[in-house]
Chains A and B, each alone.
Chain A
Amino acid sequence: MALDVRLTHWLAYRLLRLTLVLFCVAALAFGLVMLSPIDPVDAYLGPQMAQVSPEQRALIAERWGFESPPAVQFGHWLRQLLSGELGWSHIYNQPVSEVISQRFSRSIMLLSSAWLLSVLVGFALGVIAGAKEGSTLDRVISGYAYITASTPTFWLGIVGVLLFSVYLGWTPICCAGPPGVLSQEVSLLTRLHHLALPVATLTLLGIASITLHTRTRMIALMRSEIATHAFAQGASRIDIAWRHGIRHASLPALTLAFASLGELFGGAILIEQIFAYPGLGQATVEAGLRSDVPLLLGIALFTALFVSVGNLIADSLYHLIDPRIEQGPL
C-alpha cells in the first residue's frame, strides 16, 4: 500500500478510537454529575439562594431544560460541545474554554518540566542500577526508588514546604508569583523560583516507577544470551548497557512515561493544592467543591484528551524502537 493511503487509514482509525474514548468519558462524567447531589440552580445562585422564590427557581430550571429526561439533556450538552461551546464557569465568571486554556498554560510548565525530568533521571538511574545489579550503587538507587514509590505525594509536598519554605526560606511558600504582583509583571526567574519546589516534589516521586521498570528490563537483558554473546566479544558491562541496554530498556520506559501522564495529572492536582499554584489541578478542586458543573465536565474531557494523546504518541513511537512491532504509518 502506498504510504499516504496507509497514513490516512491509520490516522482515521486512531481518530475514530479517540472520539469513542472521549464519547465514553463524556457519557460517564455526565452520568456521574446527574447522580451527584449537586443542584445546578443552587450552585448558580450561590449566596443569593435565599432571595429567590421557588417559582423563580422553577423558571430557571425550566429555562435550562432540567425537566427533560437525562438523555435529552446529554444530547443537548453534546451538541453544544460539538459546536465548540463548553459552557460558562460561574465561579470564574468566564467561558470554560478560557479557564482551561489559562490554567493549563500555567500547569503545562509544572507538568512538562516534572515529566521530562522524571523520565530522563528515572531512565538513567534505572539503566545504571540494572547494569550494576547487586552493587552498592544499585542498592542505593533501588532503595530510593522503593521508598519514594511508597511515599504519598501530598506528604512529600508538605514536608518540602515545611523544610525549604518555612525553616530554610529558600523557596516561596505559595502561588505562581509574589502576592500582589500582576501575573504579567512577574519575571521569568521569579516564575521559575516559584516552580522549583512543586516540580522537584513531582519529579522525585515520578522517578521511582520509571527507575524500577527500567532496572528490571536491564537486569533481564544483562542475564540474556545477548549479553553473554557480547561478553564473549570482549564487551564490558558498561559497553553492553550503553549499546544494547538503552535500546531494550527504552521500550518499557517509553510506555510508562506516556501511560503515566494521567498519574502525573493526578499528582499535579495534589501538588497545586499544597503549593497553592493556580493551575488546572487547583481549578479542578475548586470546580468540584463549588459545584461548577460545566467546568468540571470540561476538565474531565480535557484530561481524557490529554491522556489519550499521550498513549497515542507512545503507540506510534514503539515501532521506531522495536522493529518487531508491526509498522505504523512510516
Chain B
Amino acid sequence: MLHIDRLTLQLPYYQPWWKRRWATCFEQISLSLMPGEIHAIVGASGAGKSLLACAIMGLLPEGAKTSGQLVFQSEPLTPARQCQLRGRQLALIPQSLSALDPLVRSQRQVSWAARRAGQAKANAWKSAGQALAHYQLNDAAQRAFPHELSGGMARRVLTAMAHVSHAQLIIADEPSVGLDPRQRERVMAALKALADQGKAVMLITHDLRHALPIADKVTIMRQGQCMETTTARAFQGSGDTLSSGYAKSLWQALPDNAFSLPVAQVAASKEPNSA
C-alpha cells in the first residue's frame, strides 16, 4: 500500500551569522506497508520515528528538504496528493493528548474529523457517536471535554478520530505511552482491529515489548537509520535470526530475556553513526 524508497529528510538550522546548516533527521529509509498488516517502527527518542510519520503525512515544517520517493497505492505521493488524501486516506493518531482541543466536547471533535473526511453534516454527527461507542466510550464520555477524560479514554477518542475517517493507512505515534497495562491492551486491540479490516497500520513506539504481540513486521530505527526490517516472529529465543547487532542486543537487553548489556557490541555499533 505504501512504499517508502530511500527517503532522506534534512532540516535546516542556523548558526551565528546566519549560516545555514542541514541536520539529517533520517537517511535512506526504505519500507513497505501492506494492507492488513501492523508495521511497528521501534527506536529510541530521536531516532526519527515521528518525523517519518510527518513526512508521510506531509506535515513537515517549512524549509525541510527531502529526497527519495513515497508511493501510495501505486502512485507517487506528492505534496499535492498528500494534501488531498490527508484525513481521507491517510490518518495520524498523534503522540500527545494535547492534540485534542480542550474547548470542544469529544463527540464534536470526532464529528469534525468526519466532516473533514468528506462526510455530510448530519451523517458526521451520527458516525462520530458510533465511532466513539465502538471504542467503548459512553454518552457521558461523548459529551465530556478532553480534560474530563482519563488518558486511556482520550487516547481512544484520538483513535476514533482516525477510525471515523475510513483512511486506508493509519499511523499511530506512540499510542501506548503513559497508559496502564489494561488501557494499553485496549488501545493495541483497537489498532489490531483496524488492521484486520484491511487497513495498513504503522505503529510507532519506543517499546519493543508492547509492539511485538500485535505487530506483523518490525523495523528497528536508530539515529535516523533503518537498522533492520524483519517479521515480528524473528524476535524470539535468543534472537539468532536477527541480522543486525543493534536489533539483537535490543532484544537481549529486555528484562524478560537475557537482560544483558553487551558493552563492546553497543560501543562498536555506536561509532559509525556518531562519527
Contacts and interface: CB of A to CB of B under 8 A. Distances in A.
Interface of A: 224-226, 228-235, 239, 243-244, 247-248, 321-324
A232 B101 contact: no
Q: Which among A229, A235, A239 has the greatest number of chain B C-beta atoms within 10 A?
A: A229
19 contacts: A224-B98, A225-B94, A226-B99, A226-B100, A226-B101, A228-B59, A229-B99, A229-B100, A230-B116, A232-B92, A233-B87, A234-B117, A247-B104, A248-B101, A248-B103, A322-B102, A323-B102, A323-B103, A324-B145
Nearest to B144: A323
Interface string B72-108: 0000000000010111101110101011111110000
A225 B117 CA distance: 19
Given A225-B94, A232-B92, A233-B87, A324 B104 contact: no
Contacts of B135: none
Nearest to B161: A233
B55 interface: no
Interface in B138-177: 145, 147-148, 161, 165
Contacts of B90: 232
Contacts of B117: 233-234
B86 A233 contact: yes
Contacts of A322: 102-103
Nearest to B89: A234
B70 interface: no
Contacts of A233: 86-87, 91, 112-113, 116-117, 161, 165
B211 interface: no
A325 to B, nearest CB: 11
Contacts of B148: 323
Contacts of B165: 233
Contacts of A239: 116
B57 interface: yes
Given A239-B116, A322-B103, A232 B87 contact: yes
B104 A229 contact: no
A21 to B, nearest CB: 30
Contacts of A243: 104, 112
A214 to B, nearest CB: 15
A234 B88 contact: yes
A45 to B, nearest CB: 62
Contacts of A234: 83, 85-88, 116-117
A239 B96 CA distance: 21
A101 to B, nearest CB: 40
A247 B59 contact: no
A167 to B, nearest CB: 48
A235 B87 contact: yes
B103 A321 contact: yes
A127 to B, nearest CB: 15
Contacts of A230: 112, 116
A228 B86 contact: no
A228 B94 contact: yes
Contact of B147 (A224, A226, A324): A324
Contacts of B113: 233
Q: Which among A232, A247, A322, A324 has the greatest number of chain B C-beta atoms within 10 A?
A: A232
Contacts of B102: 322-324
Nearest to B86: A234
Contact of B98 (A225, A247, A324): A225
Nearest to A221: B101
Nearest to A251: B103
Contacts of A232: 57, 59, 86-87, 90-92, 94
A229 B57 CA distance: 11
A42 to B, nearest CB: 59
Contacts of A321: 103
A245 to B, nearest CB: 10
Contacts of B103: 244, 247-248, 321-323
Nearest to A225: B99
A87 to B, nearest CB: 48
Contacts of B87: 232-235
